[in-house]
Structure 1
Amino acid sequence: MTASTPADAPIPLVDLRAAHAEVAEEVQEGIDRVLAAGAYIKGPDVAAFEREYAEFAGTRHCVGTANGTDAVELALRALELPPGGEVVLPANTFVATAEAVVRAGLQPVLVDADPDHLLIDPARVAEVLAADGGAVAAAGGDGRPGRITALLPVHLNGQLAPMDPLLDLAAQYGLPVVEDAAQSQGATQHGRPSGSWGRIAATSFYPGKNLGAYGDAGAVTTSHDALADAVRLIGDHGSGRKYVHDRFGFNSRMDTVQAVVLRAKLRRLPAWNAARRAAAARYDAMLSDIDGITLPRTLPGNEHVWHLYAVRIGAGRSRDAVLTALQEAGIGAGIHYPVPVHLQPAFRSLGRGEGSFPVAEQAARELLTLPLFPQITESQQARVAEALAKAVARATA
């Protein structure tokens, strides 16, 4: 904590100003360059960022998009899945994942999370695939197509979904895997980067992400040339040549100012992610003795980048009362996904009511996100831990 910051100053959930302070000069130089050239859309910095992020993600291609939701939709559209086909995704995700499926003309099929890591549960995926009735490619099926056309695992809170069993299932049933990597820039599993596991992947650079723009932006990564070409074409009105539209598309291009910001931040992302891991380890130590909470767990083989650090407030205690107490103490805690996708009014048509996905529903009632960002200090975290211990001790459901 700096000398100019009072010891009792509010602690934000995410401190975007601290991140900006580290890149401000470089970003301003880049913006001046863009303004001087007038290259606001598809400028040189966009192409440079796409090359740099593809290398970072371990893929041949990166295509910038206007936002992360578009990126998921574009990835699905590029695969040319059958209209109305079903896509398997976790119930424990932000609603944008399911929105993108519907926007692509497909149908979401939700499955529950595993109770320890709250990531998509391969056992539940296997159940819906077995019930689907489609041919099993590896078993020499009869070619009769099932309704399920793709798997869409979500890398949540900064760590990857269990990709090995999911890829095994995808191979068994002849399905493409599309990664939702919006919360995992820089995370790895068995050393392999997020965004490089599936046939194609989507990510978001919403300002609060580990790699955040100064507005909306996103990207698709893939090592398949034809898929990258299709994403670029669809996201530019289906046009590879001016006023010639080869297929139906829409407008989802990354603007050059966002690319400038992302290039500056990408150079610092490995160090920032390392700082997040150190902060998460400090929380683990500070919070381990507090009764009534469960700390987040890392799936074996994952290198977590801690987009969010979310604890679970145990049964018998009111998570919302704990949140209120923290906020009154100047702690910027928050709740992510308090209403699961299947219980949102917009997705009532899925026909899945309360009790359909008990793990996701319990997580929605219990999870509480604590402040975590690369510049958070040990003294700030100690304040969070002290306030949380007092709030949990007082809170009863």
Structure 2
Amino acid sequence: MAVNQALLREAQATGPTKVPVARPRLPSAEAVFPYLQRIDDAGWYSNFGPLLTEFEARLAGRFPAGTEVVTVTNATQALTLTLMAMNLPVGGYVVMPAWTFVATAHAVVQAGLKPWFADVDPDSWMLRPEAVTGLAADIRAQVVAVIPVSAFGAAGDLAAWRAFRDETGVPVLVDAAAAFDTLDDADLPAVVSLHATKVLGIGEGGFLATRDAALALRVRQLTTFGFQGGRESHVAATNAKLSEYPAAVGLASLDAWPADRFRFLRAAQQLRISLIGRPEVQFQNGWGADWVTSVCAVGLPDGMAAPVADALHQQGIDTRQWWGAGCHTSPAFADCARGDLRHTDRLAGSVIGLPFSIDLSAAETGRITDALQQALAGL
């Protein structure tokens, strides 16, 4: 009895189990095993084997006919190598939103280019073509490309960006890292992440989807030592290809995707319904109804992100500012050029990531909702 009382006192002291902000989940060993057996049977472990070929074909099948898919070790490398494959003038500006994850800017710098941080639309949280066309003429003259970012998995207005590309001739590369579910058009080249934290993950990985066969071929060449059907390097490149093993995980993930997508939708709807009486908690348009992603980023009244996060943490509810105060605030990019970022600064103080996962339970949803309501009421 004394032991039980000690355990009870310990539980009371430590409080309830924390609700994590994310709970990534990859296919089970049982689901992956048949694909591992295929690897064993073929004795082909890397260098564009049958599983990777099938994985890329199945990914391409999610897009209109004529789409090429090139897998890469991660989405950051995919962005970098695609920018390099575009043969852009070295040192030119790439306009990108300040409201994004730092990987976008790292890719620009690694490709020998310079980020120009622009502000985003306050409602969609994404870059609009007007942010580029409205730049001063001397800056526009130095812009060699634009990278709009799909905010937390939202699709964005790709039609507007296609029109921008066609009217200006400026190349557009979409950072669709979290947009596996929403991206269904590759007329603009787009990069998707397959990181373990995404709705469809393989651990580490990413892919380029494009209808530009020549661009796809150049990116492929850059992922494999500059080879082009032989053993001679035709261009300076790297080794960024996937092996058969992540392809095995990817195939198992695709097998489960229809059911997994439904489970993500169900978890999202559960959370949305529980907060239906809190209009000050703003979900992204269509999140959990029309599309799914692996995180739940919500907008709060201006300046409320930090105090609400502190209040939630005190109740064991983990949160995250996924993009911090904006990419431009990282020391690595302190010297990068930028415009007026008033909307980005406001979003940095009002957007937080609530706990969300494919297996978010009703009990966890209740705890999140109760804690959030108490936090908002007390501020």
TM-score tier after normalising by the smaller chain length = 0.7 to 0.9
Amino acid at match of 1:338: G
What is the CA–CA distance in structure 2 between the aligned matches of 1:333 and 1:39, rounded to whole Å?
A: 43
1:387 paired to 2:375:
no
Query: Hey, what does 2:195 align to over in structure 1?
Result: 206
Quote how far apart the aligned CAs of 1:99 are.
1.0
1:31 paired to 2:17:
no
Query: Hey, what does 2:313 align to over in structure 1?
Result: 327
Contact 1:179 1:197 survives alignment (8 Å): no
How does 1:321-360 map onto structure 2 within 5 Å? 321-352=307-338, 356-360=340-344
Query: Hey, what does 2:232 align to over in structure 1?
Result: 244
Amino acid at match of 1:181: A
- Quote the RMSD (CA, aligned, Å): 2.4
Give 3-state SS (helix, strand or coil) of 1:268's partner. helix
Over 3 Å counting, the alpha-carbon distance change for 1:133 and 1:384 in structure 2 is closer
What is the CA deviation profile of residues 133-188 of structure 1, one whole-angstrom value per residue up to 9, with x for unaligned ones? 76xxxxxxxxxxx3212221111112112122222122111122211111100215
Contact 2:146 2:173 survives alignment (8 Å): yes
What is the CA–CA distance in structure 1 between the aligned matches of 2:61 and 2:318, rounded to whole Å?
A: 35
What is the CA–CA distance in structure 1 between the aligned matches of 2:63 and 2:195, rounded to whole Å?
A: 18
> Which of 281, 293, 309 in structure 2 is aligned with 1:306?
293
Query: Hey, what does 2:218 align to over in structure 1?
Result: 230
Quote how far apart the aligned CAs of 1:351 are.
4.3
Give 3-state SS (helix, strand or coil) of 1:240's partner. coil
Over 3 Å counting, the alpha-carbon distance change for 1:323 and 1:165 in structure 2 is same
Q: Where do 5+ consecutive residues of structure 1 fail to align?
A: 1-7, 135-145
Over 3 Å counting, the alpha-carbon distance change for 1:338 and 1:49 in structure 2 is same
What is the CA–CA distance in structure 1 between the aligned matches of 2:215 and 2:259, rounded to whole Å?
A: 31
Quote how far apart the aligned CAs of 1:14 are.
2.4
Contact 1:186 1:270 survives alignment (8 Å): no
Query: Hey, what does 2:59 align to over in structure 1?
Result: 53
Contact 1:218 1:254 survives alignment (8 Å): no
1:366 paired to 2:350:
yes
Query: Hey, what does 1:139 align to over in structure 2?
Result: none
Over 3 Å counting, the alpha-carbon distance change for 1:204 and 1:164 in structure 2 is same
Over 3 Å counting, the alpha-carbon distance change for 1:186 and 1:197 in structure 2 is farther
1:159 paired to 2:148:
no
What is the CA–CA distance in structure 2 between the aligned matches of 1:159 and 1:95, rounded to whole Å?
A: 18
> 4+ residue runs of structure 1 moved beyond 4 angstroms?
35-38
Amino acid at match of 2:101: F
Quote how far apart the aligned CAs of 1:98 are.
1.1
Contact 1:150 1:177 survives alignment (8 Å): yes
Give 3-state SS (helix, strand or coil) of 1:109's partner. strand
Query: Hey, what does 2:3 align to over in structure 1?
Result: none
Quote how far apart the aligned CAs of 1:249 are.
0.6
Amino acid at match of 2:208: V
What is the CA–CA distance in structure 1 between the aligned matches of 2:250 and 2:111, rounded to whole Å?
A: 27
Quote how far apart the aligned CAs of 1:63 are.
1.0
What is the CA–CA distance in structure 1 between the aligned matches of 2:20 and 2:244, rounded to whole Å?
A: 29
Contact 1:117 1:299 survives alignment (8 Å): no
Name whichever of 250-259 and 305-314 sits farther off: 305-314
Quote how far apart the aligned CAs of 1:306 are.
2.9
Quote how far apart the aligned CAs of 1:68 are.
0.6
Quote how far apart the aligned CAs of 1:298 are.
1.4
Quote how far apart the aligned CAs of 1:392 are.
2.5
Q: Give the TM-score normalised by structure 2.
A: 0.87
Give 3-state SS (helix, strand or coil) of 1:219's partner. strand
Name whichever of 269-278 and 162-171 sits farther off: 269-278
Give 3-state SS (helix, strand or coil) of 1:369's partner. strand
Percent of aligned pairs with the same amino acid: 30
Query: Hey, what does 1:178 align to over in structure 2?
Result: 173
Over 3 Å counting, the alpha-carbon distance change for 1:197 and 1:287 in structure 2 is farther
The alignment covers a number of residue pairs equal to 361
Quote how far apart the aligned CAs of 1:203 are.
1.5
Amino acid at match of 1:28: F
Query: Hey, what does 2:123 align to over in structure 1?
Result: 116
Amino acid at match of 2:277: D
What is the CA–CA distance in structure 2 between the aligned matches of 1:230 and 1:314, rounded to whole Å?
A: 46
Q: Where do 5+ consecutive residues of structure 2 fail to align?
A: 1-15
